[in-house]
Amino acid sequence: MRRMFRMLAAAVTAAALAVGVGVPAAAAGSSDMALRKALDGVVAGGDAVGARVLVTEHGRTVRLRAGSATLGGRRPVPFEGRYRIGSVTKTFVATVLLQLVAEGKVGLDEPVRRYPPDLLPADKDAITVRMLLHHSSGLADYVSTIPKGADFVRHRFDHYDARELVRRIADRPLVFAPGTDWRYTNVNYVVAGLLIEAVTGRPWGAEVTGRVIRPLGLRATGVPGDVTRVPGPHAHGYERVSPAAGPVDITELNPTVADASGSMISSDADLDRFLTALTGGRLLPARQLAELLPRDGDPVPYGLGIFRVPNSCGVTAWGHTGEIHGYYTLALTTPDRSRRAVVSVTTAAYPLPDDSPVYAAVRKLTDAALCG
């Protein structure tokens, strides 16, 4: 998962996409032309089938799209379509845990074992709730135990139990002493989801739904559980199982493989509304919001479930990126929420290689969106 950090610190400086299919009349001017050019680059390299962006600049909204909804098809990517948001899920989960902190039900600096005592073994007693959300727990990741390539495609509808995912790494030694380093690790948020359930008595998805999705009216957002389809209009994502084989449509899968680290589904408009409400203080009291957000000057640009993303013009942005089979997502906002961008890319060759032109193109997108 070091690749996730490198991508966010560099290629995640992105946020708009544009090109020759279905560009609304509102998309005009030199900044919009820069977005179109950047979006062209996203799909031109062959690693992406389609791309879409929602950009808001001082109240003006631009929606742009490129490529197609299916590989080799002519139907454009739907502007209002839903998609798998991958690790952007983490920001939702962190929000709920920080709400529980505000309610006095969870202590950020309390050991995780205080809440579900059987979740982590005793030799990992030093791991706190804060360390989970910050990725400084030192836990090894379960991702290496998940089938890859053709094996994953064959087993993509299998159910994964969250506790079993944690058990896969429970006996592994810590990568570093808790709190002494940083490593982006998906299992941290699987544990966080189980912690929410232990404290509230309800699954993490039910808490996210009741505390965030419904209050904000996020009609296209959901926690699918074992549901394998993406509901409503959507673009398709693909995975290449081997260098010799062609891409496989991977749109349908059982998202429990990602659980609380990345299983949710949403849309551009919903992610924009969520991020605006979150950073604007609608979901968290001031104290917990300050805990959530990355601190300026911190060598690790990650707060408790959200990144600080630099760009070429020096404008700070907060947000998260997400990658899951077939989909790459990025949601960003400036601290004052005057400039925001949500990007969705459907891949032709998941997982994207580290040097994929998609990342460089998205970096240009974000610069165009946030720097104007």
Active site residues: 87
CB of 19 within 8 A of CB of 36? Answer: yes
Whether the CA torsion 270, 326, 263, 341 is positive or negative: it is: negative
Tell me which residue of 229, 370, 364, 256 sits closest to 308, measured CA to CA. Answer: 370
Sequence-distant (≥ 6) Cβ neighbours of residue 20 within 8 angstroms: 36, 40, 66
User: Residue 280: which residues within 8 A CB-CB, separation 6 or more?
Assistant: 337
| Type of residue found at 243 | P
Closest CA to 139 of 161, 160, 124: 124
Using DSSP's 3-state secondary structure scheme, residue 153 falls into helix
Q: How far apart are CA 43 and CA 50, in angstroms?
A: 6
Q: Do 331 and 320 meet the contact criterion of CB atoms below 8 Å apart?
A: yes
Pinpoint the alpha helices (H) of 213-252.
Answer: 214-216
For 313, the token pair is 């013009």
Planar angle of CA 112, 114, 117, nearest 5 degrees? 85
The residue among 296, 370, 60, 90 whose CA lies nearest residue 204 is 90
Closest CA to 292 of 306, 313, 280: 306
* Residues in the chain, overall count: 372
Chain mean position to CA 239: 18
